[in-house]
Amino acid sequence: MPETAARAWTRKDLLGLEELSRAEIEHVLDTATGFKEISTRSIKKAPALRGKVVLNLFFEPSTRTKTSFSLAAQRLSADIVDIVKEASSAVKGESLVDTGRNLEAMGVDIVIIRHQQAGAPALLARSLDACVVNAGDGTHEHPTQGLLDIFTMREKLGDLTGRKIALVGDITHSRVARSNIWGLRSLGAEVGLIGPKTLIPGAFKELGVNIHHNLDEVLDHYDVFNILRIQMERQNKGLFPSVREYHYLYGIDSKRLSRMKSGVVIMHPGPINRGIEISHEVADGENSVILRQVSNGLAVRMAVLMLVQSARESHGG
């Protein structure tokens, strides 16, 4: 493993971006830049995790994150095991900590966990010697999504100090929003939250962000619009009158894109609801980096896996 990488990162777990310093975030991003080069090779493999076992423990559905972690682990030459809730003994009542301890007893080195409960990865991290990486916990954080979003912004814009980044939509329920806010504020970016009052708790103001309820008034202010998924599963809670009205007030379409800065960066963590929070033309248009985010996720997750394992080994784990 690269010596410099091992020295600058000392955490065996990645639980959120709230607790990371600017230097730590930049170190992950710089490490990921090195790993991106591997993806361009005909043989996309590095030996950093040879002989290690990575476990994907997913209690909620995922397409991008789970596949991305699997590929990242494989590219680092680790063995990878997948467990989903429905096919595990969790359905028979086994506790999360017992599940983790049993898997650790089989030699698992790194547990990637997605869980519906905020704090589940932290609980597991306290209970295991293995590394724990949060792949999304309730509405709390999704740190690797935040890191890959920031990595993609930095690729497009360079240093993010003073850059203006908007997060649009359902902030209340979004772990992606929280990770973006913590990470971007640490890097000195100006962050704006845009959406209806019911989807942006006033308490977010304390995080040093701007809050806007009228999207059309701020279209030409921001350098990046990171558009969040409207969580259709929460629609029975009446958080906005209708999907049609949401699209009318907050949907990013060609007309609104034409009023943004030239070169504005359009992002979305996925999965997207086409025609609701974003139109087809914008999602697939030249300002969109949505698929680049997904590609970058692989390099970011390779960096995270290598850094946590390296820190664990340097602590004697």
Q: Which residues bind ligand CP (CB under 6 A)?
A: 62-65, 136, 142, 145, 269-271
φ/ψ (deg, to 5) at 229: -70, 135
Which H, E and C letters describe the chain, residue by residue? Answer: CCHHHHHHCCCCCECCCCCCCHHHHHHHHHHHHHHHHHCCCCCCCCCCCCCCEEEEEECCCCCHHHHHHHHHHHHCCCEEEEEEHHHCHHHHCCCHHHHHHHHHHCCCCEEEEEECCCCHHHHHHHHCCCEEEEEEECCCECHHHHHHHHHHHHHHHCCCCCCEEEEECCCCCCHHHHHHHHHHHHCCCEEEEECCHHHCCHHHHHHCCEEECCHHHHCCCCCEEEECCCCHHHHHHCCCCCHHHHHHHHCECHHHHCCCCCCCEEECCCCCCECCCECHHHHCCCCECHHHHHHHHHHHHHHHHHHHHHHHHHCCC
Residue with tokens 């993609």: 152
**292: Cα separation from own chain's centroid:** 14
**Residues whose CB is less than 8 angstroms from the CB of residue 317 and which lie 6 or more positions away in sequence, other chains included:** 12, 129, 130, 131
